[in-house]
């Protein structure tokens, strides 16, 4: 099934004119023919079933794909939402992290400024990260794209107590993570990860003073992208294990 990511909201019954790279790829690379099925996503909770109605060229010679929207499904945001706050790794590794967090199902990533890292991606970079998050959402069939948040300082984050939100700090020296570390059924989780050089001891003291639990998520030292994806996957997996009874495999 060919998937296309749109920038605009989708309404059933509509015939969409899809332009740009998505249209060129569908017409020239995939060579989709009228009647073939499509899945359309907007990264904001909507997934539409559609069929190819045809294709045409714009006056400037760009391909336009015409799609008939059959049905639109609105998906709720996944539960719980894991909001990741982690320092931005350097170069391509930041993009790898956005991609990995999208695949494992994090709700958002925001750059975290810590004592040992104050690297903040520039605005231009954040635009690019949003594009990567939207592309990843398409690849892995996410109805909601990973959100990219503004840079935050650790003391500011620790001073807040937003409603219905639990905070946890990943620390390789902390106790093995279990689902009981966080309140059962909590809808939003803030997962804080330190830089590769680890938290400064003052940051761990600050967390202890504010009763923020720490936990470890693996036997080895992980680089920041893998640490963030692994901790998110484990938190989501254990939260879902406690939410539902699952049939035995077989």
CA angle 188, 112, 186 (to 5 degrees): 10
Contact range with its own copies by CB under 8 A, out of 36-44, 83-91, 112-120, 176-184: 176-184
Figure out which of the listed residues 63, 177, 191, 203 binds its own copies, where binding follows CB under 8 A: 177
Q: Which two tokens stand for residue 247?
A: 């049939």
Q: 49-88 mask for its own copies (x: CB under 8 A)?
A: -----------------------------x----------
Q: How far is the CB of 175 from its own copies (least distance, A)?
A: 5
* 223 in contact with its own copies (CB under 8 A): yes
Tell me how far apart the alpha carbons of residues 24 and 247 are, in angstroms, rounded to a whole number: 44
Site size toward its own copies (CB under 8 A) is 46
H/E stretch holding 64: strand 63-74
Nearest CB to its own copies, comparing residues 15 and 178: 178
Q: Is the peptide bond before 250 cis (omega within 30 degrees of 0)?
A: no
Tell me how far apart the alpha carbons of residues 22 and 204 are, in angstroms, rounded to a whole number: 46
- Of 147, 143, 185, nearest in space to 166 by CA: 185
* 181 in contact with its own copies (CB under 8 A): yes
Nearest CB to its own copies, comparing residues 123 and 209: 209
121 contact partners, CB below 8 Å, separation of at least 6 = 88, 94, 111, 129, 151
* 17 in contact with its own copies (CB under 8 A): no
Q: How far is the CB of 246 from its own copies (least distance, A)?
A: 4
Q: How far is the CB of 227 from its own copies (least distance, A)?
A: 8
Nearest CB to its own copies, comparing residues 108 and 214: 214
CA dihedral 151, 157, 159, 160 (to 10 degrees): 100
Q: Is the peptide bond before 46 cis (omega within 30 degrees of 0)?
A: no
Q: 94-133 mask for its own copies (x: CB under 8 A)?
A: --x---x-xxxx----------------------------
* 178 in contact with its own copies (CB under 8 A): yes
Name the phi and psi angles at 240, rounded to 5.
-75, -30
H/E stretch holding 239: helix 224-243
Nearest CB to its own copies, comparing residues 38 and 100: 100
* 209 in contact with its own copies (CB under 8 A): no
* 150 in contact with its own copies (CB under 8 A): no
H/E stretch holding 155: helix 154-159
Tell me how far apart the alpha carbons of residues 10 and 45 are, in angstroms, rounded to a whole number: 11
Q: Which positions lie near its own copies, rule CB under 8 A?
A: 78, 96, 100, 102-105, 139-142, 174-178, 180-181, 208, 211, 213-215, 217-223, 226-227, 229-230, 233-234, 236-237, 240-241, 244, 246-250
């Amino acid at each position: 099934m060919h998937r296309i990511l749109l920038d605009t909201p989708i309404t059933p019954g509509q015939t969409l004119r899809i332009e740009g790279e998505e249209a060129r790829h569908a017409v020239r690379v995939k060579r989709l023919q009228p009647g073939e099925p499509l899945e359309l996503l907007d990264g904001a909770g909507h997934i539409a079933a559609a069929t190819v109605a045809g294709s045409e060229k714009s006056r400037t010679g760009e391909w336009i794909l015409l799609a008939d929207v059959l049905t639109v499904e609105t998906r709720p945001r996944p539960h719980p939402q894991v909001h990741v706050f982690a320092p931005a790794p350097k170069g391509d590794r930041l993009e790898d992290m956005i991609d990995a967090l999208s695949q494992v199902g994090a709700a958002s990533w925001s750059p975290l400024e810590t004592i040992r890292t104050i690297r903040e991606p520039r605005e231009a970079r954040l635009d690019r990260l949003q594009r990567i998050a939207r592309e990843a959402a398409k690849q892995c069939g996410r109805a909601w794209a990973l959100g990219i948040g503004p840079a935050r300082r650790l003391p500011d984050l620790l001073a807040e107590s937003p409603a219905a939100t639990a905070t946890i700090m990943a620390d390789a020296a902390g106790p093995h993570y279990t689902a009981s570390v966080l309140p059962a059924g909590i809808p939003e989780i803030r997962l804080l990860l330190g830089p590769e050089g680890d938290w400064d001891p003052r940051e761990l003291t600050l967390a202890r003073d504010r009763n923020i639990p720490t936990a470890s998520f693996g036997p080895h030292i992980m680089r920041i992208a893998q640490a963030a994806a692994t901790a998110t996957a484990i938190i989501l997996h254990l939260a879902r294990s406690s939410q539902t009874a699952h049939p035995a495999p077989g």
